[in-house]
Amino acid sequence: MANSGKIAVKEINPGDRNSGDLYKKREHIYQRHISGFFQTLRIATIWVTLGAYFILPWFTWDGRQGILFDLPERKFYILWFTFWPQDFLYLSWLLIIAAFALFFFTVLAGRVWCGYTCPQTVWTTFFMWIEFITEGDRSQRIKLDAQPWSATKGLKKFSKHFLWLALSFWTAFTFVGYFAPVRELWSDIYHFNASAWAWFWLFFFTIATYTNAGWLREQVCLYMCPYARFQSVMFDRDTLVVTYDKNRGEPRGSRKKDADFQAEGLGSCINCQMCVQVCPTGIDIRNGLQYECIGCAACIDACDHIMDQMNYPRGLIRYSTESVIEGKPYNILRPRLIGYGVMLTVMCVLFLYVLLSRVPLQVDIIRDRSALYRETFDGNIENTYTLKIMNKTQEHQEYTVTASGLDGAIPHIPESIRALPGELVNLPVTLEIAPDKLKQRNTTVYFTIVAKSDPAQEVTEESRFLGPN
């Protein structure tokens, strides 16, 4: 009873997957091209994601590359933000937000990430589109592969693989362009002046893209992606998934278009196999929810197209929930979904607040550890500090430093400190005070650093002033 709210995910596929040899030869999937509402939505999503990926490195911001992760200089530029290794906390926070977003949308709508925005899905779909325009639709590709080699077959195969490699190389070049100035990288490649490491990563990511999107395809989703394995833990009976309505579709069977199928004891499913032929992972959704399903909704568009031709209502295969299919009400307000949603919202709001209120100035204070305090020639008590001031902006900055918290203290601080963009300045500072003015042995002192050009760049750090007993 404890697991009654969970969906049993079945490992079922057409043919003899369940009874076959674990190490049997892979069966090539010839996906059929299909159009429809959800495929139009997927194509739009693919163009947006691919467009953003390929265009963003060329975007210029304030005279430099808008998005650049400069590893040698340890600077990470994202539009007007400049991050340093010390800002690793922001990346950790962002990854946690991404994890909660994945949990939330999985509980709400299943594998919507896999079907629409996963890089493996995006690039594989684009590669399959290239295959479609060079070799034809499903039946044409099956015939082409069965034919003996000829000039026509060789030209089609060469065209496909050439375009695959060209797209793979451009993908690799763009990826490397996020870590090296993309315009300089292009010039170096054009003149064959790129470094050995640049050529290595270009070659590596070209082969990786070509292999994953062109050859492995669904194998990545079935055997390499961990998300396919633990998704069922987050599913419940109110999770929106691609579902076949067995109550309406069974029993299956072929029939004439105008036949009274109900009188013949048949359901709405005409057993045309279209839902199988358009599936990128080769499953039969009519066998129930399976971990191989990536939620791309190709089977929904294919089935709706057949239903339109047969003059049957749409929705035999649709986005639905186990509860709705069983005739139970849909419950969207579930504790787990609400919990994920609240956590995701709170973390996003806090992350944006911290990010937008971030001060591009870092200050660390180190007390002199060789002595707790010193006595000067005139009898005063002196403490020495080293202020490490890091300019995290991309402009020259001039800072003023003030000390507070110790009444009567005499600070020995320069009037101003200059720092180049990204420079770490070590500033020695001393505070001294007459013994009769020192009220306690251990006193908290504060150092405030302010940029002259922008008073909003202000950081206050505390330290301790120690004296005799």
- Structure token digits, residue 409: 């203290």
**Concatenated DSSP letters of 205-227:** HHHHHIIIIIIITHHIIIII-TH
Indicate if 189 and 46 belong to the same structural domain.
yes
Indicate if 122 and 237 belong to the same structural domain.
yes
| Core vs surface per residue 72-88: b (16+ CB within 10 A) or e | eeebbbeeeebbbeebe
- pLDDT tens digits, one per residue of 191-237: 999 999 999 999 999 999 999 999 999 999 988 988 888 877 888 88
Indicate if 300 and 438 belong to the same structural domain.
no
pLDDT at 17: 46
Q: State which residues form the domain around 202.
A: 1-358
**DSSP-H helix ranges across 56-181:** 88-109, 112-116, 119-135, 138-146, 151-177
**pLDDT-above-70 percentage for the chain:** 95
- Among the three residues 307, 334, 358, which one is the final residue of a domain in this structure? 358
Average predicted confidence (pLDDT) for the chain: 90
Q: Is the pLDDT of residue 97 over 90?
A: yes
Q: 322 pLDDT band (50/70/90 cuts)? A: confident
Indicate if 258 and 404 belong to the same structural domain.
no
Number of domains in the chain: 2
399 contacts 451 by C-beta, under 8 angstroms: yes
- Among the three residues 358, 387, 421, which one is the final residue of a domain in this structure? 358
- pLDDT tens digits, one per residue of 440-462: 899 999 999 999 989 989 999 99
Indicate if 386 and 245 belong to the same structural domain.
no
Indicate if 115 and 150 belong to the same structural domain.
yes
CA distance 386 to 130: 62
Indicate if 352 and 369 belong to the same structural domain.
no
- Structure token digits, residue 239: 């999770």
> DSSP 3-state assignment of 232?
helix
Task: Please tell me what DSSP assigns to residue 432.
Answer: E
Beta carbons within 10 angstroms of residue 322's beta carbon = 20
Which residues contact residue 3 at a Cβ distance below 8 angstroms, ignoring those fewer than 6 apart? none
CA distance 288 to 318: 12
The larger pLDDT score, comparing residue 228 to residue 308, is at 308
| Torsion from C-alpha of 279, 283, 289, 290, nearest 10 degrees | -120
Indicate if 183 and 299 belong to the same structural domain.
yes
CA distance 86 to 364: 12
Indicate if 410 and 324 belong to the same structural domain.
no
Long-range contacts, 282-285 (Cβ 8 Å, 24+):
282/13, 282/14, 282/27, 282/29, 282/218, 283/12, 283/13, 283/14, 284/12, 284/13, 284/14, 285/242, 285/243, 285/244, 285/317
- Among the three residues 358, 393, 428, which one is the final residue of a domain in this structure? 358
Q: Is the pLDDT of residue 310 over 50?
A: yes
CATH of the domain at 385: 2.60.40.10
CA distance 253 to 96: 49
User: Considering only CA atoms, which of 367, 373, 372, 399 is closest in space to residue 386?
Assistant: 367
CA distance 143 to 149: 12
Indicate if 259 and 399 belong to the same structural domain.
no
- pLDDT tens digits, one per residue of 399-423: 999 999 999 899 999 988 999 988 8
Indicate if 342 and 400 belong to the same structural domain.
no
Indicate if 283 and 408 belong to the same structural domain.
no
Q: 2 pLDDT band (50/70/90 cuts)? A: very low
- Structure token digits, residue 404: 């507070």
User: Considering only CA atoms, which of 61, 105, 54 is closest in space to residue 82?
Assistant: 61
